[in-house]
Homo-oligomer: A and B are copies of this chain.
Amino acid sequence: MKTLVIVAHPQLANSSTESFLKAAADNENNVMWHELKTPFDISQEQELLKSATRIIFQFPLYWYSAPAILKQWLDEVWNSQLTSSYLLKGRELGIVTTVAHSASAFQPGASQGYTIAEILRPYQALAHAMEMKYLPPLPIYQFAQQSEEERQLLFIHYQQYLTLDKFLHFSDQTQWFIDHLNVKIAQESDLLQQAKLEQLLALLQDQQEELDDLHTSIGWLREKEDD
């Protein structure tokens, strides 16, 4: 899988959120980080799109939509050459959007009145028209107010959003941690640290096996119920 992150931000250099996300993305293989700048080289942009299997639109939510530069890029780059032959069919479209309000504000009766799912509907409609698979969006609420622990979780969750095949499945998430731990162990030069990481790895693998057993048991119980 190859992931293309289309970053649309009018003041990228000043955005602490974007530099945080960039650090997370840089850690991953098969992720292309692409910051939008005008004027666009249309055929080059189209080549980039064609090289990716997962395409992420990443932007701060301004007035319930992406900044103008993303729309300009869509209006210019997603022309009939790209779209008429359904070149993007079957690929995935994900949305990572940073939001100034709290999650609870986005509901009927609250200050923002509509859910994030509703507000992002035009992108879902775009995915639908292209026969792309629309991924559940990843909204990042009030990054500035997040604690260190919340940020660590976000760091991992964002990496999984970019790279995990099925990032909503728990067992895939565990496998993702196991893979990342294996890489970290190989890179670690301090033997004591390495031993600690190996202990953690063993623990995760044990838990994974136990979970697999439980799944098998539950499946067996369900089959009996159906009898």
Instruction: Point out residues on A near B: beta carbons under 8 Å.
Output: 10, 62-69, 71-72, 74-75, 78, 111-114, 118-119, 121-126, 128-129
Contact = CB atoms under 8 A, between A and B. Distances in A.
The copy count of this chain in the complex is 2
Contacts of A65: 65, 71, 122
21 contacts: A63-B75, A64-B123, A64-B126, A64-B129, A67-B71, A67-B75, A68-B68, A68-B71, A71-B71, A111-B129, A112-B125, A112-B129, A113-B128, A113-B129, A114-B121, A114-B125, A118-B121, A119-B121, A119-B122, A121-B121, A122-B122
Q: A interface, by DSSP: helix, strand, loop or mixed?
A: helix
A125 B72 contact: no
Contact of A125 (B69, B78, B113): B113
Contacts of A67: 71, 75
A123 B114 CA distance: 11
Contacts of A68: 68-69, 71-72, 74-75
Nearest to A130: B63
Contact of A114 (B10, B74, B124): B124
A71 B122 CA distance: 14
Given A71-B71, A75-B10, A64 B125 contact: yes
Contacts of A119: 121-122, 125
Nearest to A10: B75
A35 to B, nearest CB: 17
Nearest to A67: B75
